[in-house]
Structure 1
Amino acid sequence: MNDVFLSDPKWKHDNNQFRPGFYNLCEKKILLAFAGTNLRASSHIESKIKLWRKQYSTLYDMVNASGFGWDDCEKMVLVDSDDVWSNHVKKVPDEKGMRNKPFPYYEVWLILFGKDRVTGELAEGPAESVTAMENEETTKEKGDESPVEQF
């Protein structure tokens, strides 16, 4: 598979999920490149892309957090100090194996999944989403307090 195929926007829905036929096209391209392989769109390719998406998301969050960076030569996450790492692992224990581990496909994942991450001043993280939903519920409980007089 080449980068042109992966970055073609026609294969992504607005919600950043792949359109029907994407995995089958991946399967065909793999079968052409590796004759005799038994890899199939379902479940081999789908499960691998699901794992890659999760790893990309984790790496993206880590690289964009304070105290972390990315080493283009070694293709791994940089950490400012052991304290930064131990504090991070206390919050997210599942990521303890990611230090000093190379991720050679990160640049390809940026092409594949790059638009899956919401960024910018209007971006809302999980904590902000919960707060917004709670505020919405509180507003509904109070009722419609419109300043317009009701007749």
Structure 2
Amino acid sequence: MESDHGVSTQSPVQVKKEEKKANFRWSKPMSMVLLEFLAEEVRKGNRPNNSFRTSSFVAAAKNISEVFHTTCTADHVENHMRTVRATWGIISKLRGTSGFGWDDNVKMVTVSPNAFNTYVQQYPTHERYLNHKIDMFEEISIVAGKDMARGDFSKSFADIEVTSIESGQGPTTTIENGPIKSESATS
């Protein structure tokens, strides 16, 4: 119903409510598959300027949907990445906190009982990251870390030019103007 002034006179009960979508729930196995998938995307170079391409989120959502027989969208992946980045921020903060240690073998922030109690009183939500193994640490650091080396410019042994010393030529170094013969201490 409309009044003469073009304003709706329908009561709120009469207005059709928008259908509310259920929140997508990430299980631990889903999160692990996502992190492995996105870490591989980083290795492929699909995260220029520390931001994933939309195609990576679409492909990740498709992968999650297929593996877990659910409906996952790129928006779900992007939202979960916010959680992963927040987790990485907490881990990075803890690793840089004075008096805290890092066990690289176990991938765990270590802290003495006294420091633990004091810190957890101030930041109770951080307790799960202290003195506990951080699952998928490597993948989280690759996916969410901003200054991680991704290997884009790495070289293998096949990429390195080697000059045979047996040829009697001695080692050479290549610069912009061409090869220059190095001076040898044994000449």
Aligned counterpart for 2:93 among listed residues 61, 70, 75: 61
Does structure 1 retain, via aligned residues, the 8 Å contact 2:46–2:52? no
Deviation at 1:17, TM superposition (A): 3.5
Letter in 1 for 2:94: M
1:88-99 mapped onto 2 (5 Å cutoff)? 88-99=119-130
State, as a whole percentage, how many aligned pairs show the same letter.
25
State the number of aligned residues: 112
1:76 aligns with 2:112: no
Alignment of 1:1-150 (within 5 A): 1=37, 3-12=39-48, 14=49, 16-31=50-65, 34=67, 37-79=69-111, 81-115=112-146
In structure 1, how many angstroms separate the alpha carbons of the residues matched to 2:38 and 2:80? 17
2-structure distance, mates of 1:71, 1:45: 30
Matched residue type, 1:26: A
Relative to structure 1, the CA distance from residue 7 to residue 113 in structure 2 (aligned partners, 3 Å threshold; closer, same or farther) is farther
Shift of 1:49: 2.0
- State whether residues 61 and 76 of structure 2, in contact with CA within 8 Å, keep that contact through their aligned partners in structure 1: no
Say whether the 8 Å CA contact 1:39–1:45 is kept in structure 2.
no
Which stretch shows the higher mean deviation, 63-72 or 89-98?
89-98
Deviates more, 1:69-78 or 1:58-67: 69-78
TM-score, length-scaled by structure 2: 0.49
Tell me, what secondary structure is at the counterpart of 1:108?
A: helix
Distance 1:116 1:54, change over 3 A: farther
Q: 1:61 to 1:78 in 2, by over 3 A?
A: same
Q: CA RMSD in A?
A: 2.7
Q: Distance in 2 between matches of 1:89 and 1:67?
A: 14
Counterpart-to-counterpart distance in 1, 2:83 and 2:123: 17
Deviations 1:32-55 (A, max 9, x none): 5x2x62141345323332222111
Larger Rg computed on CA atoms:
2
**Structure 1: gaps (5+ residues):** 118-151
User: What secondary structure, in the 3-state scheme, does the structure 2 residue paired with 1:115 have?
Assistant: coil
Task: Name the CA distance, whole Å, in 2 between partners of 1:10 and 1:64.
Answer: 29
Structure 2 segments unaligned to the other structure (5+ residues): 1-36, 149-187
Q: In 1, are the aligned partners of 2:64 and 2:70 still within 8 Å (CA)?
A: no
Cα deviation for residue 92 of structure 1 reads 2.4
Q: TM-score, normalised by structure 1?
A: 0.58
Which residue type is aligned with residue 41 of structure 1?
T
